[in-house]
Structure 1
Amino acid sequence: MRTKLIIDTDPGVDDAFALTLAALSEDVDLLGVTTVFGNVGLEATTRNARRVLALCQRDDVPVAAGAARPLVHHQPREARTVHGSDGLSGRSGVLPEPVRELERSDAVTLLAELLTSAEEPVTIAPIGPLTNIAALLAAHPHLASKIDRLVIMGGGIARGNTTAAAEFNIWSDPEAAHRVLAGGEVPCVLVPLDLTHRCAVDASWLSALAASGPIGAALHSLIPDYLEHYRRALGFEGIVVHDAVAVAEAIRPGILRTESLPVRVECSFGPARGMTVVDVRRSAQRADTDGANGPFTDVAVDADLDGLREFLLERLIGRRV
């Protein structure tokens, strides 16, 4: 069975891995890619997405640029210290120039067009700030039924990465994340930091990728700044491929184990801004308080970690598993 998929992204090194994963998977119909501000500015994220698709020889996939800033408040800072000056460790120039022109329409328009023309529900994988998705649901509520599910990389149950409480994608536009997760229009799977960090890949995995061929070598060449960051964060030679974990679930539903839990997003200003408040209490306890009515989100809490790493590597080196 082929997955109808759209990716909304802000490349970013792990976004580049995730986009390549989808682009090379034969059981995926990659209908389109939309870009958003995030790890770096919109111009750079759009250029990076188009170059990754060119690397994968996927000039059949339309790309449209979306939101350049959050819905309400300005993004306080980008993630250049993690992803480098251009989002790809300063090495986006090693990727080929895009063949296909950027769509003249904006991201929300392309999303609406792709959903309208789809003959069956489509999975959307938002792996950056949720600004484009919030705008889509607000402007085209009738299209919610055309979305099978949103598989979102974002948030954390017990940790943040941008602040002690907040993960970067949610923190970059908490109001948009609240609109999407609390809206209830579309089933959501949230893939949080707690799990993606456990899925970190090590030096041997990265070496196998680099030795696999031109695409693997190109992806490996994008990681120096990212690797340096995670060398400090993890304490070993490896990286966290957050967004690729989410896209793996989008491609193969159930590769991650999820629990249906109430999730809210903290939108006030203060040390918890951007926090995903995930209610992990037993349902009986929630029923005695204010947590019984949701909104509920399928939160990814576990996986066969070695099996997932194998799935990612095999797909990225061009062998379907």
Structure 2
Amino acid sequence: MARHRVIIDTDPGVDDVLALLLALSARAEDIEVLLVSVTFGNIDVQSALRNVIATFHLVGREMAWRKAQGREEGFGALRACKPLVAVGADAPLADPLVMAEYFHGIDGLGGVHTSHPHLAPPNGWQARFPQLQVQEATDTLPATTEPAGSSPPEELYTPSPLPAHRAILDILAANPPGTITILALAPQTTLAKAAAADPTTFMRAKEVVAMAGALGVPGNVTPVAEFNAFADPVAAARVLALTARDPARTMPPDVPGGLGPYQAGLKGRLDVVLFPLDITTPHVLLPTTFSALIAPSVAAGSPLATWVAAFMVALYKTIARLEGEGEGLGLHDPLVVGYLLPGVGEGIEVGPTDVRVETGGQWTRGMTVSDRRPRVREEGGEVVGDEGGWLGGLGNRVRVAVGSGVVESFGEGMVRRILGIEG
């Protein structure tokens, strides 16, 4: 299996942090993370950036701790390539800002920065992102002291001076077409901005693998909409339109201050693999499974295990309050990373579907729509009631993940990979 060279667009969020840790802990021969693009979504972009920096900080401390314990440091992907970190969109293109603090907590990680200040990244990282207006709460985080021998976070990532959509285009332009995969774990606003600025360069991506949508199951933010699609439906619709032979056919109506139409005559199609709630929701990490796996590492003094356990325990309390005692965490974003990993990706099936995103409905904002009518267009013929050109391959051509052979094993395998647990 060839190494995947990736850009990760993310809005951490608990499952985003788990997804990022899964990517960074991969073997160097499996994944190379070139850029982490940080956007609004689950929380505001400032808090999302803090969580990304905290992730690098804890991984640095973890590698130092493992080395002192005489263990393999792990995180081969990170040790082989120091990613760029860039700041992306802070609001949707047209719709009101909606976040998921009620689920992830005000800081996106169940209050871990307050409850465990000794694990927070040292103050000073904010100055490395002058393009970001850092919130007062972030400015006043308590300072921490680095343990002897640990790697400070600045050794594990490089701040990008460019906004994330420009950094994405630079990486795509600097590499051969079809060699860079974009993992979209967040509202697709930053990706839509990159595509609007230079669609030809954006379409050099090998594929966009996106966690978004709900096709045959209820949504998780409205009866019909999944959060990422709901948070910026115009952006999602614009990205999916690039999968059509003629993007103008499925583009959303332009809005005041919008990004405008794509240029005529674009060659080729963007390859999008969609991971909707239909496939991600069954992949869960039960609290009992998580506790049993992480307890030995916490007891041994693992900094990363201590940090992850803190925000996961807080999240499981929220899940118990909202959904019932003993319910698990849906591994929506980690499954997108898992798609690229040996032993996981081979067990995931994809199939082509015309998927579009509703941008104008009063009750259906962010709904992902596919045609379930059992009809086909005859050669040269017309079908009554096919307004919008759903039949005959005239619309979007999205590859949708429809089946998984790792439902039972994925959660445990993810924790083992992140914590370097044998077995």
Same fold at TM > 0.5: yes
1:211–1:284 distance in 2 versus 1, CA, 3 Å: farther
1:270-293 deviation digits (Å, cap 9, x = unpaired): 111111113345574899544222
C-alpha separation between the residues in 1 aligned to 2:237 and 2:13?
Answer: 23
1:277 matches 2:376: no
1:203: which partner in 2? 287
1:21 alignment partner, SS class: helix
1:112 matches 2:201: no
How far does residue 309 in structure 1 lie from its aligned partner after superposition?
2.9
C-alpha separation between the residues in 2 aligned to 1:110 and 1:146?
Answer: 14
1:80 matches 2:80: no
2:225 alignment partner, SS class: coil
Match of 2:415 among 276, 301, 313: 313
1:165 matches 2:224: yes
1:264 alignment partner, SS class: strand
1:223 alignment partner, SS class: helix
1:56 alignment partner, SS class: helix
Match of 2:182 among 124, 130, 136: 124
The number of residue pairs the alignment matches comes to: 320
Between stretches 46-55 and 30-39, larger displacement belongs to 46-55
Once the two structures are superposed, the pairs formed by residues 94-113 of structure 1 within 5 Å of their partners are 94-97=119-122, 99-100=153-154, 102-113=159-170
1:296–1:210 distance in 2 versus 1, CA, 3 Å: farther
| Contact in 1 for aligned 2:290/2:412 (Cα 8 Å) | no
Q: Percent identity?
A: 31
2:308 alignment partner, SS class: helix
C-alpha separation between the residues in 1 aligned to 2:350 and 2:422?
Answer: 24
Q: Who wins on radius of gyration, i.e. which is larger? A: 2
Structure 1 portions without partners, runs of 5+: none
How far does residue 72 in structure 1 lie from its aligned partner after superposition?
1.6
How far does residue 69 in structure 1 lie from its aligned partner after superposition?
0.6
1:108–1:320 distance in 2 versus 1, CA, 3 Å: farther
| Contact in 2 for aligned 1:23/1:53 (Cα 8 Å) | no
C-alpha separation between the residues in 1 aligned to 2:377 and 2:413?
Answer: 37
How far does residue 234 in structure 1 lie from its aligned partner after superposition?
6.0
Match of 1:155 among 189, 213, 223: 213
How far does residue 210 in structure 1 lie from its aligned partner after superposition?
4.5
How far does residue 235 in structure 1 lie from its aligned partner after superposition?
5.4
1:70 matches 2:160: no
1:41–1:236 distance in 2 versus 1, CA, 3 Å: same
C-alpha separation between the residues in 1 aligned to 2:285 and 2:416?
Answer: 13
Between stretches 243-252 and 62-71, larger displacement belongs to 243-252
1:299 matches 2:396: no
1:50-85 deviation digits (Å, cap 9, x = unpaired): 21122223592210001111112221x311100001
1:254–1:146 distance in 2 versus 1, CA, 3 Å: farther
1:191: which partner in 2? 275
1:256 matches 2:365: no
How far does residue 137 in structure 1 lie from its aligned partner after superposition?
1.0
Between stretches 162-171 and 276-285, larger displacement belongs to 276-285
Give the TM-score of the pair, scaled to structure 2. Answer: 0.70
